[in-house]
Amino acid sequence: MTRTDPFNVLWLQSGGCGGCSMSLLCADTTDFHGLLRDAGIRLLWHPSLSLETGADVVAILNDVLDGRVRLDALCVEGALLRGPNGTGRFHVLAGTGLPMIHWVQRLAGQAGVVAAMGSCAAWGGITAGGANPTDACGLQYEDDRPGGLLGADFRSRGGLPVVNVAGCPTHPGWVIDTLMAMAAGELTADALDALGRPRLYADQLVHHGCTRNEFYEFKASAEKPSDLGCMMEHMGCKGTQVHADCNTRLWNGEGSCTRGGYACIACTEPGFQEPGHRFHETPKIAGIPIGLPTDMPKAWFVALASLSKSATPQRVKLNATADHRVVTPAIRKTRLK
């Protein structure tokens, strides 16, 4: 791909809050458009970042559909609203009289890659919660069930399933890195996990890099929102199960949910919006959390937790249920003799 042959990206917003676009604006750059341009990416249109409106937008869409403009990547933000009764008329693209799902289906057939930007576009997300009166779904999933608007067998012109850049909102770094990988021709099927998420962030766990990991190791748990301890046992944190690199690729360069004192609610995973319990609670059976760390058998966790709790240093135990560091680490000689 050369500068004279840009990677054309079209971004549409469907049923959602626009939070993924707001997150994208926090990308770690002082020149957002320059960042894309230097990567050979041309933004054909974005509802918040582009100047075109009305008839000019419709002209862009028709140019793509008629083959006058090549569509390398179709990015969709927000769930696809199929209601009422499959008509899609809960969401009509302004000025066209046609449902958004109509445009998405036709444009997806032209695109080299189709990407779901955020968990609403990927799985249905918050928009599909509750009774789901709008019949909202993801592009290729309904929660964790393949299907969605485009169907389980959909493949883009480039031979890929929908690329699910999931998150609520999705991290700006995930979006930028995914677009750059697409433009460089490096986003292959092997670069996606089993749910179509880019492995550049989905091969990690939120637990990796969490500043509360020492408390986790000793099962020294927080008991209320302001406590410093691990939030897995009592406060609903799912960071040991959730695929994302939030604690190593910090938001705005400095923060994450757990660093801000909030439990990870699994926003990159299908069905996170309806966990079956309050977000700040950890469901248990016989005192054992139902949601155990990824790859850890229940018997191992029980044994490890029992051993860890019995070996918890007093410093860690006291700090876990405080809102500030009560006891600092002891000073010891580290020089070998």
Q: Which positions make up the binding site?
A: 17, 20, 120, 168, 207, 210, 230, 237, 246, 264, 267
Positive or negative, the CA dihedral 17, 18, 19, 20 is positive
Task: For residue 161, say if its preceding peptide bond is cis, omega within 30 degrees of 0.
Answer: no
| Residues in the annotated binding site for [4Fe-4S] cluster | 17, 20, 120, 168, 207, 210, 230, 237
Residue ranges of the annotated binding site for [3Fe-4S] cluster are 246, 264, 267
Q: How far apart are CA 189 and CA 187, in angstroms?
A: 7
Cβ distance 115 to 165 under 8 Å? Answer: yes
What is the SS3 assignment for 99? strand
Question: Can you list the positions of beta strands (E) in the chain?
Answer: 7-13, 41-45, 73-77, 80-81, 92-93, 98-99, 113-117, 136-137, 141-142, 145-146, 163-165, 284-285, 288-289
Q: Is the dihedral of CA 178, 183, 188, 189 positive or negative?
A: positive
